[in-house]
Amino acid sequence: MNHNEFDVIIIGGGITGAGTQRDCAMRGLRTLLIERSDIATGATGRNHGLLHSGARYAVNDPESAEECIKENRILRRIAAHCIEETDGLFITLPEDDLGYQQTFVDACRKAGIRAEIIDPDLARRLEPSINPELIGVVRVPDGSVDPFRLCAANMLDAKLHGGQVRLHTEVTGFIREGDTIRGVHTRNKVTGEEEDFYAPVTVNACGIWGSPIADLAGVHIGMYPAKGALLVFAHRVNNLVINRCRKPSNADILVPGDTVCIIGTTSTRIPFEECDNVAVTPDEVTLLITEGAKMAPSLSSTRILRAYAGVRPLVSADNDPTGRNISRGIVCLDHETRDGLSGLVTITGGKLMTYRLMAEIATDTVCRKLGIDKQCETATTPLPGSGEQSYESVAQKIWENPSMAQKAAAARMGTSASRILTDNRLDERLVCECEEVSVSEVNDAIERLDASTLTDLRRRTRIGMGTCQGGFCACRAAGLLAKASGCIEKEREGLAHFLQERWKGNYPIGWGDTLREAEYTQWVYKHVLGI
């Protein structure tokens, strides 16, 4: 068997692609995942990081709500180190209709979601950041999930099952014989190297970019990009997820995650050309702050770290020629039955919460095509790193007397943190002081998690995500990358690119301490370090 032949090729390194690769690999298939950039660069890494209970969908979309609560329970079991079991509150403010609360609770219960009306006084004690003027509260099993970690863990498990991953590699075309897709042409975006890969089935798992990929294969999928803008605050003001108990609208979810909290989102249709470079507008920033402060008043005086936006892949229903009718939920297209083109499957729609189910559906389709009869086991097999429930017990087992930094590493890596156990005290040196990331954790991400740029490192370790936004840690981490790669010019460009990427999320909210930090970073990199 040739080294570039596989059973299945997966295009897209978001959570759907990574999850599909894991599922395929666990069912014994030889898999290759191709991603044009890095893991979780699309919608996967650009959302709230909300572990939905499904409550948000209960009234309007009971099917999604049921999927969510099912997957919510599964993720708590298989991805313990990627999630936080915070619980969530759906609050009714004086301006909202309290009558909606009962409709909401009934719908939740019907979907199998624990929804408990609690006394506003109890809610104010449980979550002191909450708007004290609230008139009604429902508690649901929401939580938070780190999508970068979840994506990396899926990909790592796929690799442990023999899967191969090509990051920063772009699919430039399909290898087609008559009405059959036999494989893909690719080009490495760093080295420029072109390579062909072959497989009887290719899975298109590219989110909104699934549409242009389908175009490459000569089939059409009607998709609409919908931008959602979010803000990250520099402090974790809330410990429970806070939602508005009303019909889903703009800026009505506040999610705590790691050291920060995130408010969002908006929904704006944008043209396809803007998908690769979505910017947050001043109006969106104002809307998010104003609406956010209604849920947690202290947000109006909390430093904002950055603004960012993701693009939801909305798929138009196949049976509607106008394209106006949007399919909610998961869309799995077998292009053989749909378009007469065999060897290609598209999995799209859905949401972060239902990635595992999407992967299962896609993998079932792949297996059916390959004539393989093997059950899906992803719902019961924990991801690497998820062997323990609490990061504190993980840290305790690895280090006798863990430091704050070691606990932080255990929270990020779960039981995999044992990989960064080191005899060399110098490797415990902190590269990133805001998020307490050590030299050995950075080196682990370079060696084992395919990180080759600063931005890749950020997604795997949280480097540059803290209050300094890379001002201090970026050049240290770049030094470690330079040592690993030996290619100084690439790392210098990478450093400039990283600073630009951080600035992109800083200037839309560039005032107060953010502007102070920006002035410092400008001065230090341009005039002191000489980038």
Partner 1 sequence: MKFNTLIIGGGLAGLVSGISLQKAGHSTAIVSGGQNALHFFSGTFESLEEAPERLATLLTEAGIRTHYQKGVRLMPLGTFRPAALSLEDISLFPTPKFGKRVLIVNFNGYHDFFSSFLAGGLEKEGMTCRIQQLKLSELEWLEQSPSEMRSVQIARIMDRMWEVVVQEVRVLLKDEDTVILPQVFGLQDTSVPGRIRQGIPAQVIFAGTLPPSVPGLRTQLLLKRRYELLGGTYLAGDEATGAHVHDGVVHSVVTKNLDTHFLEAENFILASGGFFSKGLVSNPFQISEPVFGLDVEQTDDRSGWYHPDFAQDQPYLSFGVKTDAALHAIQNGKPMKNLYAAGSILGGTHPELGTAAGLAIRSAFAAVDQILSR
- The footprint of partner 1 (CB under 8 A) covers 279, 282, 285-286, 403, 405, 425-426, 428-431, 433, 438-439, 472, 475-476, 478-480, 482-483, 488-489, 491-492, 495-496, 499-500, 502-504, 507, 510-512, 515-516, 518-520, 522-524, 527-531
Listed in sequence order, the DSSP H helices in 462-530 are 473-485, 488-506, 512-523
Nearest approach in angstroms of CB 426 to partner 1 is: 3
- Number of helices (H) and strands (E) in the chain: give both, helices first: 16, 24
Report the Cα–Cα distance between both ends of the chain, in Å, rounded: 47
Q: How far is the CB of 78 from partner 1 (least distance, A)?
A: 32
Report cis status (omega within 30 of 0) of the bond before 378: no
| Burial class of 327 by CB neighbour count within 10 A (0 to 12, 13 to 18, 19+) | middle
Nearest CA among 3, 17, 9, 38 for reference residue 494: 38
User: Based on CB atoms, which residue is closest to partner 1, 2 or 301?
Assistant: 301
Q: Give the DSSP H or E segment for 118.
A: strand 116-118
Q: Is-contact 140 90, C-beta < 8 A?
A: yes
Q: Is the dihedral of CA 527, 529, 530, 531 positive or negative?
A: negative
Q: How far is the CB of 514 from partner 1 (least distance, A)?
A: 9
Pick from 153, 96, 172, 167: nearest CA to 384: 153
Residue type, 250: N
**How many residues does this entry show for the chain?**
531
Q: Is 512 helix (H, G, I), strand (E, B) or coil?
A: helix
Closer Cβ to partner 1, 141 or 494, answer by number = 494
Helix crossing, 355-370 with 15-26: angle to 10°? 50
Name the residue type at position 25: A
Q: For 234-298, where are the E strands, in sequence order?
A: 241-244, 253-257, 260-264, 268-269
Q: Would you say 347 or 432 has its CB closer to partner 1?
A: 432
Task: Return all residues near 371 (Cβ < 8 A) that are at least 6 apart.
Answer: none
- What residues does 349 pair with on adjacent strands? 330
**Which C-beta is closer to partner 1: that of 1 or that of 426?**
426
**Gap between the Cα atoms of 393 and 409, Å rounded:** 12
Query: Which parts of 138-209 fold into alpha helices (H)?
Result: 147-160
Assigned token pair, 3? 């080294």
User: Residue 208 or 431: which CB sits closer to partner 1?
Assistant: 431
**Toward partner 1, which CB reaches closer, 300 or 381?**
300
Q: How far is the CB of 205 from partner 1 (least distance, A)?
A: 31
Measured from the CB atom, is 69 or 482 closer to partner 1? 482
Within 10 angstroms of residue 193's Cβ, the number of other Cβ atoms is: 10
At its nearest, how many Å lie between partner 1 and the CB of residue 442?
A: 10
Is 272 or 507 the residue whose CB approaches partner 1 more closely? Answer: 507
Cα distances from 385 to residues 102, 390, 396, in angstroms, run: 40, 11, 15
Residue number, 24 or 480, with CB nearest to partner 1:
480
Cα–Cα nearest to 417, from 461, 458, 456: 461
CB of 511 to partner 1, least distance (A): 4
Q: Which is nearer to partner 1, 337 or 424 (CB)?
A: 424
**Nearest CA to 190 among 501, 503, 487?**
487
Q: How far is the CB of 415 from partner 1 (least distance, A)?
A: 22
Question: In the bound complex, what is the minimum distance in angstroms from residue 274's beta carbon to partner 1?
Answer: 14
Nearer to partner 1, 317 or 484 (CB): 484
User: From the CB of 194, what's the least distance to partner 1, in Å?
Assistant: 28
Task: Name the burial class of residue 53, with classes exposed (0-12), middle (13-18) and buried (19+) by CB atoms within 10 angstroms of its CB.
Answer: buried
> In angstroms, what is the minimal distance from the CB of 261 to partner 1?
19
Cα gap 431→482, rounded to integer Å:
14
Our CB check for partner 1 shows the closer of 1 and 528 to be: 528
Write down the least CB distance from residue 428 to partner 1, Å.
Answer: 5
**CB-wise, 39 or 499, nearer to partner 1?**
499
Residue 420 CB, shortest distance to partner 1, in Å, is 12
Closest CA to 203 of 78, 29, 61: 29
